[in-house]
Every structure is written in structure tokens, then in C-alpha cells.
Amino acid sequence: MMLVALLDPYIYEGGVHKHGLILELLEDLGGYLVQKTAASTEVTLIMLIPRKDVHLIEELGTKLLGTITRAPMTGTEIAVVSPTLAYHHLPHSACDVAEYLRHGGANTNMIGLARGMGRRVALSADYERKLINEHDIAIFTFGTFSDCIMNKKPKLLEGINIPIVVTGGPDLNVEDIPNADMYIGNIGRVAHRLRGVDELKGLDRMNEKVGELVDRVREDIAKDPLAVLSPRVMKEIHEQIPDIHNVLAPAPITLQLDGLRVKLPYEDYHVAIEMLELDEGVLLSDVARITPSKMKNYILIKIRRRSDVGFIL
């Protein structure tokens, strides 16, 4: 029994003129606007649209001379983890990887480990692992040598319980990398911006494969759906906690596949978030775990499943 319509992520790019029609239609269909970026006369809408109604938005979008593309990574928060923040890894290729994922609609956070360099000496701290585990997917950007990627670096993946993607230079099988869920080659250590045809192909392949991974996670979640959809919680926060509009952080509410990160200080706002009224008599704290995030003093919301709560809103 499917009580919740599957939402599909799309990006609309078109003129500002009459784009309100799309927003109205989206609301009527029960979809959600994740992010709206207006730049002079152009507007970019990142939306979650009920799967069976996508064609309606497509038709309207085409009529308004805009384009609608599927952006599978919309509504996900991805950790791009580099062994350290030294110039060996940054800005290229770790930042290039993060930037490319954002093209696909993802929100990315760069995480540089304190002691992730080297082979025998590489290690990660408990705090770092917990921070990474707050995300939907972790992408570890490794280097050129297959021996390091297969034999030494995987210890950095231990204790990470979200899907793990590893990028590196050589062509390897994911089975050879313990604990990794996906390996993407051709993106190794580089000291220049990735703009060669082959390099961009590697990044395109990465977006495609990470997109597939996100789709798989979404299907998995749909089997035992979340008690409430995270975009719905976002909408309620926008309406019930007006202070969110004063937050200057990029993406004040960051959607995740099974929750949200709210960039308000935990100590001042966690009560308000817990008391967020989703329906008559149903508070957010009834259907979600609200905890302090390891990232700054933000609030992390993880929504519970139907089997746990017993109902869906």
C-alpha cells in the first residue's frame, strides 16, 4: 500500500515572467519548492514533484519556454570528505567534485579530516565520523595510487554507516575497496582545475552514478516511508518559525533524504522545533528525533519511519 506519493526532484530554469504559475500548479499538485534562485530575469526553481504529475509541470514549463530537467540529487546533503585540507587535495579536486554535485541539485559540505593523510598514519576521529554520519551520502576523494585506495585508505571508511562513494585516479572495482559502496575512477589527485574533456567525463559519470545511488536510497525509504516528508517539515518551519528567514547561512534549512538540518542555534530554538505543529495534535517531536548537530550549533532532525511511529501524515 503506497500512501505517500513518490516525489521526484526537478530543476526548472526559465524566465521570471509567469513563473508563479508553476509554483501555483506545484502547490496544487502537492509538490514542494526546495529552493528558488532568481538572477535578474532568470529564475531557477528546485522542486519535488509527485511522480505521476511531472508531465503537467513539464507541459506548463515548456509553454513558458523554460526547461525542466531531472536533478536526482535534489534534497540530499552530501559530505565531500578529503583526507586533509592541505593543498594536496584542495581546491582541486575536492572542490571540483563538490561543485559538480551541486550542479546535480545536491547540497554539499566539505569536510577535511584532521589526520587523514598518509597510509599507516591515516585515521579519523570519533567526532569526524559522527559529523559525516549526519549526511545522506559521504564521498571520499582519494588519490592516484591503487595500493593506497585498496589497502590503506579504507580504514577512514570504518564507522561510517551512510552510503560511501570513493573517488580516485585508477580504474578499480568497488569490491576491492573494503566498506565502500561505490567507486568512481578518473578523479584522482590533481593540482589544476578539472576542465579537460576526460576529467569532465569522469565528473559527469560521478553525478550519474551518485544520482542512481540517491534514487536507490529513496526507493529503500519508500518501502517503510518516513512518517512525514522532510519538505513538508521545511514548509511548516517556514510558516511557524519566522526567524528562519533571518538566517544568513546558505540553505538555512537543508533537506536530507530522511531529515533536515536547521541552521538555527539548538539551545534557543529546539523547543520551538519540537513543538512544531504538523497536524492537529501532532507535533514534530512525535515523529522525529531532534538533536544538536555536530555542525556548529545547528539542529538536526531525523524523521522516524512509519513502522516506528505507526502512522503517516
Partner 1 sequence: MMGMEPLETFVVQTTVEAEAAPYRKIIEDVISDLMIAGAIGRLKIVVRPEDSLFQMVTILREGLPLMKVDDFADVGKGTSMGEVQIMIREERPLPRLLESLWARYGRGAVTQPERRTLLITVGDPKTEIPLIKEMVVDDPRRTLRSRLVDMAIRSTPEGFRVRYHSLDDNNFIFVASEDPMKQEWIDEADKMLDELKGDDVSGIA
Q: Of residues 152-171, which lie at the interface with partner 1 (CB under 8 A)?
A: 169-170
Beta-bridge mates of residue 261? 254, 300
Examine residue 88 and tell whether it contacts partner 1 (CB under 8 A).
yes
Examine residue 129 and tell whether it contacts partner 1 (CB under 8 A).
no
Burial 255-279 (b: 16+ CB within 10 A, else e): bbbbbbbbbbebeebbebbeebebe
Which of the stretches 33-41, 86-94, 203-211, 270-278 binds partner 1 when contact is defined by CB under 8 A?
Answer: 86-94
Name the residue nearer to partner 1 (CB basis): 83 or 211.
83
**Nine cell digits for residue 83:** 583526507
Q: Choose which of 120, 126, 173, 245 interacts with partner 1 (CB under 8 A).
A: 120
Examine residue 125 and tell whether it contacts partner 1 (CB under 8 A).
no
**Nine cell digits for residue 104:** 546535480
Examine residue 270 and tell whether it contacts partner 1 (CB under 8 A).
no
Which of the stretches 32-40, 184-192, 221-229, 266-274 binds partner 1 when contact is defined by CB under 8 A?
Answer: 184-192
**What's the closest the beta carbon of residue 275 comes to partner 1, in angstroms?**
48
Q: Choose which of 121, 161, 175, 250 interacts with partner 1 (CB under 8 A).
A: 121
User: What is the spatial distance between Cα 76 and Cα 165, in angstroms, rounded to a whole number?
Assistant: 14
Examine residue 275 and tell whether it contacts partner 1 (CB under 8 A).
no
Pairing of strands 67-70, 7-15: antiparallel
What is the number of other CB atoms lying within 10 angstroms of the CB of residue 249?
12
Examine residue 97 and tell whether it contacts partner 1 (CB under 8 A).
no
**What's the closest the beta carbon of residue 192 comes to partner 1, in angstroms?**
5
User: What is the spatial distance between Cα 261 and Cα 295, in angstroms, rounded to a whole number?
Assistant: 9
**What's the closest the beta carbon of residue 180 comes to partner 1, in angstroms?**
18
Examine residue 145 and tell whether it contacts partner 1 (CB under 8 A).
yes
Examine residue 147 and tell whether it contacts partner 1 (CB under 8 A).
yes
**What's the closest the beta carbon of residue 245 comes to partner 1, in angstroms?**
42
Name the residue nearer to partner 1 (CB basis): 94 or 257.
94
Binding mask 203-242 for partner 1 (x = CB under 8 A): ----------------------------------------
Which of the stretches 33-41, 116-124, 133-141, 293-301 binds partner 1 when contact is defined by CB under 8 A?
Answer: 116-124
Given phi > 0 = left and psi -120 to 50 = alpha, else beta, which region is 279?
beta
**What's the closest the beta carbon of residue 243 comes to partner 1, in angstroms?**
42
Q: Which residues bind partner 1 (CB under 8 A)?
A: 83-84, 86-89, 117-122, 143-148, 169-170, 188-192
